[in-house]
Amino acid sequence: MKHYYALFSGGLDSTLATLLTMSQQQAIRLTPLFFRYGQKSEAEEAKAVFRLIPLLRGHLPNSSSILDDCRQFDIGGLFAWSDSPILKHNPTDTGRSPDVENRNMILIGCAASVIMADWKRGDEAPTRLIGGFKNEHYDTTKRFADAINRVFTAFERRICLDTPLIAPSQRGGSSPKRLAKLARDLGGLKLLKDSWSCYYPQSGEPCKCCRACQGRQRFFSEVGVRTAKKGHR
């Protein structure tokens, strides 16, 4: 049985990427990895992860497939240098870019360390790592994933980074319309409402203004689901 890992934030994209990967396999073992990197939405993301795992298990392709409990890692100190407003140690400034420079490269490196530690304990190889990347930023492109995979080929046993949300042609991109159709076809809309996408939670509720909230609103308006007046659900 193939063993997949997923960079799993409890957000719309990583949840959809996980769902899609499970639907494409006849049998699968999948281990979600959640990283606490000092993001302001850390607690809300962790709660979403906790809600989503049992729901995702309902979408496993067969009874021999396994979705492990999500493994969580605290790597906050690695981003102490960043001035991104989405990090707890910086003030919220919704006018500034929320990007945390090189975040995905660092998260992928941490995930690879986890995977290699598992190999030492006797798990099978090769292994695939899923990222919910959408071709939007320099570190979510197909080109970036290809560069990472070239580095991974240097390892004795191979890890491959998969970006299932990026269309093979890249032309279709990962528009809200395409992703909404995908989610509908997979029967995952109800589950996706339990995900969390907001950089600046306010008393446990989404801000409804940030880039992540806006992306979420576009996605759910494509599928004809109105987001609740308060909160995501």
Q: Which is nearer to Zn ion, 114 or 207 (CB)?
A: 207
Taking the complex as a whole, how short is the minimal distance between the CB of residue 200 and Zn ion, in angstroms? 5
Q: Which is nearer to Zn ion, 32 or 201 (CB)?
A: 201
Q: Which is nearer to Zn ion, 68 or 205 (CB)?
A: 205
Taking the complex as a whole, how short is the minimal distance between the CB of residue 213 and Zn ion, in angstroms? 3
Q: Which is nearer to Zn ion, 40 or 128 (CB)?
A: 40
Taking the complex as a whole, how short is the minimal distance between the CB of residue 215 and Zn ion, in angstroms? 10
Taking the complex as a whole, how short is the minimal distance between the CB of residue 217 and Zn ion, in angstroms? 10
DSSP per-residue string spanning the chain: -EEEEEE--SSHHHHHHHHHHHHT-SSEEEEEEEEE-SBTTHHHHHHHHHHHHHHHHTT-SSTT-EEPPPEEEE-GGGGTT---TTBTTS---TTS----TTHHHHHHHHHHHHHHHHHHTT--S-EEEE----S-SGGGSHHHHHHHHHHHTTSSS-EEEE-TTS-TTSSSTT-HHHHHHHHHHTT-HHHHTTS---SS-BTTB--S-SHHHHHHHHHHHHTT-PPPSSS--
Q: Which is nearer to Zn ion, 167 or 207 (CB)?
A: 207
Binding site for Zn ion (CB under 5 A): 198, 206-207, 210, 213
The rounded distance, in Å, linking the Cα atoms of 150 and 98 is 28
Taking the complex as a whole, how short is the minimal distance between the CB of residue 206 and Zn ion, in angstroms? 5
